[in-house]
Amino acid sequence: MAQIRAFFTEEEQAEFVEEHGIMMRYYERTLCPCLAINKGIPDKNCDCLGGFRYSDPIDYKVQRGSINYRSLPTDIGMILQGGCRLTIPAKTVARDTEGDISDYPENPLYLRVARGDVFCEMNFSRRDGDILWRGTRDFLYSFDVEEILRVVDRTKEYAAHDDYTFDPETKRITFMSDKGPATGQPYTVEFLSKVQYVVWNDQAKHRGSDINPLARYVYCQLRQYVPLGTSSPVDNLSSLSEDIP
């Protein structure tokens, strides 16, 4: 009886991801020291991104798959709908000038990716939003912003160039001297950017063996800047029972 081989080798995994994977832009995070000074809360006067600082991005190919957020392992918890699972092989593929495979170098993501890191899917964009504070935080946390759609406060919408300018390098909104909300007041920015995922769980490499290790699974959720709630009313029966006589 022929033996059935259940696992790809590391080289076969690398070739599969190269052929069928998707290009992601990877931002490695580092905790900002302001967290220690400010009792674990990001300092609003710090220029970090919500308590994190990020390295310059590097593009990698990974395999992206959808997830069933209702049936994840209990040690991971619930991931918001719209998240994804990334498969990261231990090796990558290097090709020569003629396009033939010349080597299988180690994949740096395999060991380095950790919770809080950010992946941007460069082939897709989505509308997103953030709430800024005039004079305190006038820059967006999002990476790879393509276009500002709206800048509004409670009573007014501001016009690009007439009321404010946007610097795509610093992702900063700058109001004209006599325009915009008062200093210290919040305002909303709606924008278009590449689809962004933040690593929720960076599972250890425990799915394979020393002889033939498998690729690494990483669970991610859509990167959000304003908490919109993590549960649906349908999932909370106590809230529904209040309306039952």
For the chain, the structural domain boundaries read 10-225
Residues in contact with 173: Cβ distance below 8 Å, sequence separation at least 6, in sequence order:
132, 138, 139, 140, 148, 151, 164, 165, 166, 189
Residue 121 neighbours by CB under 8 Å, 6+ apart: 22, 24, 64, 194, 195, 196, 197
Give 136-156 pLDDT, tens digit per residue: 889 999 999 999 999 999 889
For 24, 101, 200, the CA distances from 215, given in Å and listed in that order, are 17, 20, 18
Burial class (CB in 10 A: 0-12, 13-18, 19+), 44: exposed
pLDDT on residue 238: 39
Q: Which of 2-16, 72-86, 87-101, 162-176 has the lowest mean pLDDT?
A: 72-86
Q: What is the pLDDT of residue 56?
A: 93
Give the pLDDT mean for 89-113.
Answer: 90
Ranking 21-25, 45-49, 91-95, 127-131 by mean pLDDT, the lowest is 45-49
Task: pLDDT band for 230, please (50, 70, 90 cuts).
Answer: very low
**According to the model, what pLDDT value does residue 239 have?**
37
Per-residue confidence at 240, pLDDT binned at 50, 70, 90?
very low
| Structure tokens that stand for 180 in this block | 């915009």
Percent of the chain's residues with pLDDT above 90: 40
* Residue 33 in this model has a pLDDT that exceeds 60: yes
- Report which residue type is found at 48: C
Question: Rounded mean pLDDT of 59-78?
Answer: 72
Higher per-residue pLDDT: 241 or 5: 5
Looking at per-residue pLDDT, the higher value among 82 and 25 belongs to: 25
Least confident of 28-32, 41-45, 48-52, 186-190: 41-45
User: Residue 13: its pLDDT value, please?
Assistant: 87
Task: For 125-136, write each residue's pLDDT tens digit.
Answer: 999 999 999 998
Q: Whole-number mean pLDDT of the chain?
A: 82
Write out pLDDT tens, residues 166-189.
999 999 999 998 899 999 999 999
